[in-house]
Amino acid sequence: MQGIARAHTNIALIKYWGKRDKELFLPMNSSLSLTLDAFYTDTKVIFAANLSQDEFYLNGAPNDALPISRFLNLFRQDMPTFYHARVDSYNFVPTAAGLASSASAFAALAGAANIASQLNLDPTTLSTYARRGSGSATRSLFGGFVEWSKGTSSATSCAHYLDDASWNIGMIIIVVNTTKKTISSRSGMEHTVQTSPFYSAWVESATNDLEHMKHAIANKDFQKLGELTEYNGMKMHGTMLGSNPPFCYFEPESIVAQQQVRQLREKGIPAYITMDAGPNVKILCRASDMEQIKQHLLTVFDEKNIIATLPGKAMRELTEIEWQQSCHNFKEHNLWQ
């Protein structure tokens, strides 16, 4: 009873910001993301009768198995026999990039557990399981542009595929160094929901933004897509400045990056920013402009802090050979540590 899967991380263009149910990870508003090719998690799950407890190895080293155990229980409650599991996971996500590897991690774990458990859930149902590990993992079951509908229950708060984003779309991540621990997205969103007078307007207008963005994607209207991305992302950060006490994820370099993107637009290169619960700046751009944008950014940022990526594909099963190759790649060439 074994399963291996790869899932990519994603960046929300319409942000998930605020839960209506903390236990079930039910969001206040629907969101929309772009899955990214460059960052992914490979995970193998083995359910076996001879294991006396759950074991979890992250990047080859033993790690806390408790969140994994809780997550696997979602599958085990529907399995005829209870088995403990051994989980091996390799994160091809730069730790320092603040890219929330929990999205790809729980999507890959859901994918591998689905195979190992022989439950054979469809991807949409599986996305409701991934959601229980981490909200943004919901969207990592699919490739390209993905919508996470907030739904009306745990069973209906699921992701679905919108578009493969194969129309000259790219993303550049500027990694902004920060010495201090930032506020977790979990506590940031809780504080915002509880104290920001802007929160209800956020939910209402994000819902509106999502509809407009779906139209922009259907029409392959890149400018509209970019404008909505920047509008929605900055608006989320506005809700935080409105919290009491206020908080802000911007670092000095985040502002520098924002200014660089405005300069790019003034030069006629369409590029739009988005930011999550951290100081990094993500640039939505044309894939064909990525090299030129990178050159522009190199005047201000180090090459190692500029990461370009194309859209990524859906969660998929890996063969044992691919898995061995992946383990080998991680150990031999791991650039991310």
| Subset of 79-98 contacting a copy of itself (CB under 8 A) | none
Cis (ω within 30 of 0) for the bond into 27?
Answer: no
Is there binding between residue 300 and a copy of itself (CB under 8 A)?
no
Is there binding between residue 298 and a copy of itself (CB under 8 A)?
no
- Judged by CB under 8 A, the stretch of 3-11, 112-120, 133-141, 244-252 that binds a copy of itself is 244-252
Rounded CA separation 93/104 (Å): 9
Count of all residues that appear for the chain in the document? 337
For the record, the structure tokens of 2 come out as: 């074994």
- Are the CB atoms for 313 and 204 separated by under 8 Å? no
Q: Which of 200, 223, 288, 334 binds a copy of itself (CB under 8 A)?
A: 200
User: Min. distance of Cβ 284 from a copy of itself in angstroms?
Assistant: 14
For the record, the structure tokens of 135 come out as: 């909200």
Rounded CA separation 291/81 (Å): 53
Beta bridge partners of 45: 3, 87
Is there binding between residue 54 and a copy of itself (CB under 8 A)?
no
Number of residues that bind a copy of itself (CB under 8 A): 31
Backbone angles phi, psi at 143, to 5 degrees: -100, 170
For the record, the structure tokens of 59 come out as: 């990047």
Per-residue string for binding with a copy of itself, 157-196, x by CB under 8 A? ---------------------------------------x
Does the CA dihedral 285-38-167-303 come out positive or negative? positive
Contacts of 40 by beta carbon, 8 Å cutoff, 6+ apart: 6, 7, 8, 9, 92, 93, 104, 108, 312
Is there binding between residue 268 and a copy of itself (CB under 8 A)?
no
| Subset of 220-239 contacting a copy of itself (CB under 8 A) | 227, 230-231, 234-235, 237-239
Q: Which of 73, 156, 223, 252 binds a copy of itself (CB under 8 A)?
A: 252
3-state secondary structure of 96: helix
Q: Which of 246, 288, 298, 324 binds a copy of itself (CB under 8 A)?
A: 246
Q: Which of 73, 156, 244, 295 binds a copy of itself (CB under 8 A)?
A: 244
Is there binding between residue 149 and a copy of itself (CB under 8 A)?
no
Is there binding between residue 147 and a copy of itself (CB under 8 A)?
no
Is there binding between residue 241 and a copy of itself (CB under 8 A)?
yes
For the record, the structure tokens of 320 come out as: 């044992």
* Closer residue to a copy of itself (CB): 57 or 250: 250
Instruction: Give the residues lining the site for a copy of itself (CB under 8 A).
Output: 196-198, 200-202, 204-205, 227, 230-231, 234-235, 237-242, 244-246, 248, 250-256, 258
